[in-house]
Structure 1
Amino acid sequence: MSGPLPPADLHGRQPELIERPADKELHRFYTAKCEPIFFDTSQDGRFNAPDGSYGVLYAARQGAGAFAETFLRKPGGTLIDTDLLQRKAHVLLAATRKVTLIRLAGSGLARLGATAEVTHSGLPYDVPQAWSAALFGHPIGADGIAYHARHDDTELCYAIFDRSASPIDEVDREVDLDRDWFWRIAEHYGVGLAQ
């Protein structure tokens, strides 16, 4: 098991919340041949519904957080495969209304009875998915979960529930990642392009 399961009294606990104002941009890398606003109902993602009953869109506060979650999945890796680079694209998203997220990080962990293992452990994702389901059902009715990226724990990421799909809009899409801004982020992590 990777971390504690949600406590029986979770719905009586007051979570720490992050409120993102309307029009505040979110960053997301996605598979270029697909649409960027995608609420995953598979059982593959860390905070996906364990039974596929709701979808989750993954994004980050900053480009570095989205980069870390997409391109740093292999610990210790220093090269980005050319094929992976060509398969991925970047999108800026924004919500048309305030988005409220439960902070599953920092002091928000203790408030809920969780530990950083929930957000940072590897497969299987049974425990984080149990947390996702419990937080989805929390009476506060949050739009999603805010957590620190596993591959850069200074970066804040978001798992947004599909009940908040309607306020999410595309702002800008970049399908060619071979750009200076992308390589500046890569350089920050000591990562380059495989030849």
Structure 2
Amino acid sequence: MAPPVPSCIRRSLSPTSKNAASLRKYPRHWATCQAPASGSFLSLRNCPLTAAHRLQRSMMAMSISTTSWLLLWRSGGGNVTALPIAPPPRILSTEKWRASRVLPQRLYRISGYSFGEPYFGRSGGNRFDAPGWKFNKAEYGACYLGYTLEVAMAESILHDQMPIDGKFLIANTVLQNSYVYRFTGDSLLLLNLTGALLKKLSGHGDLTGTSSYGVPQQWALAVFNNPARYDGFIYASRHATLGKAVMLFDRAEAKITQSIFTPLIETPGYAKAAKQFAIVGM
């Protein structure tokens, strides 16, 4: 016997809807629902769940289709979680995928140093660093850049910051000692790990969204080992989600040269970006 449906099915689901057959079995539930009417979706935010219907906190702010929810509930579900990012498929490191050509002049990098850029790190402390760092045998050095100044700021000075009342309070010494680097050089051969290709490779937003770096580092190594010898890859920024960032392998070092660098607070576009992120010096 199927378990009873909790009272979070919205009252607007009439018996003439595509879910009518299912809902007629539970007339008291959908007829007495306290949620506001707005289409054939579940509203779990204000639903008075009983012990038998209790869902994990991760579902409380979700809206899913009634049909899908009923199938889940009838199967004994109720604990809804997304699949985490899996290790990269073998074809990522064996097949030559179409690459993007990007000029170094398009990219931004922010550093706390006024020399030594571009810098290719091997510490293992960043998302796409070489996994061999654990054995002091890093397969490559990694350099991180943004497509825009906003992305570069979000991925550097704001990376580990939390806003207070909607504002980022950043020490003036940090702002004054951060530098924006621009580059020149040859066209870079980059694999675009966003959009359709990422999905075809069984990837998703966790590539840049997960808080664990272990699996993303395996993806980066797979790109590095590809016979196409990509200079790096494009990925969705985690901290400026509408933007894109780039990770370069140190094999690209000969293709990219520092052209200019300026103090962050003197860089054209900084004032606009600081206002956008509500950055307040202190």
Q: TM-score when scaled to structure 1?
A: 0.88
Residues 1:89 and 2:179 aligned together: yes
Residues 1:110 and 2:199 aligned together: yes
Greater relative CO (CA pairs within 8 A, separation 6+):
1
Local SS of the residue matching 1:115: coil
Residues 1:98 and 2:187 aligned together: yes
Alpha-carbon spacing, 1:16–1:152, altered in 2? closer, same or farther (3 Å): farther
Residue equivalent to 1:18: 100
| Whole-angstrom distance in 1 between the partners of 2:101 and 2:209 | 23
**143-152 or 70-79: which moved more?**
70-79
Pair member with larger Rg: 2
**184-193 or 5-14: which moved more?**
5-14
Q: Is the 8 A contact 2:96 2:226 kept in 1?
A: no
Which letter does structure 1 place at the counterpart of 2:174? L
Q: Which runs of 5+ in 1 are unaligned?
A: none
Q: 1:76 aligns with which of 158, 163, 171?
A: 163
Alpha-carbon spacing, 1:170–1:34, altered in 2? closer, same or farther (3 Å): closer
Residue 135 (structure 1) shift:
0.7
| Whole-angstrom distance in 1 between the partners of 2:145 and 2:267 | 20
| Whole-angstrom distance in 2 between the partners of 1:17 and 1:187 | 35
Residue equivalent to 1:3: 85
| Whole-angstrom distance in 1 between the partners of 2:243 and 2:114 | 27
Q: 1:41 aligns with which of 122, 135, 139?
A: 122
Q: How many equivalent residue pairs?
A: 191
Residue equivalent to 1:165: 253
- Percent identity at matched positions? 24
| Whole-angstrom distance in 2 between the partners of 1:61 and 1:149 | 10
Q: How does 1:174-185 map to 2 (within 5 A)?
A: 174-175=262-263, 177=265, 181-185=269-273
Deviations along 1:86-131, one digit per CA (max 9) or x if unpaired, are 332111112x221111111111211322111011222x31111111
Local SS of the residue matching 1:151: coil
Q: 2:220 aligns with which of 129, 132, 150?
A: 132
Q: Is the 8 A contact 2:122 2:140 kept in 1?
A: yes
Alpha-carbon spacing, 1:13–1:176, altered in 2? closer, same or farther (3 Å): closer
Misfit runs of 4+, over 6 Å: none
Which letter does structure 2 place at the counterpart of 1:59? L
Deviations along 1:57-95, one digit per CA (max 9) or x if unpaired, are 11111111101101222243522222321332111112x
| Whole-angstrom distance in 2 between the partners of 1:152 and 1:107 | 20
Q: 1:54 aligns with which of 110, 117, 140?
A: 140
| Whole-angstrom distance in 1 between the partners of 2:218 and 2:114 | 31
Q: TM-score when scaled to structure 2?
A: 0.62
Alpha-carbon spacing, 1:100–1:93, altered in 2? closer, same or farther (3 Å): same
Which letter does structure 2 place at the counterpart of 1:129? Q
Residue 32 (structure 1) shift:
2.1
Q: Which runs of 5+ in 2 are unaligned?
A: 1-82, 133-137
Residue 153 (structure 1) shift:
1.4
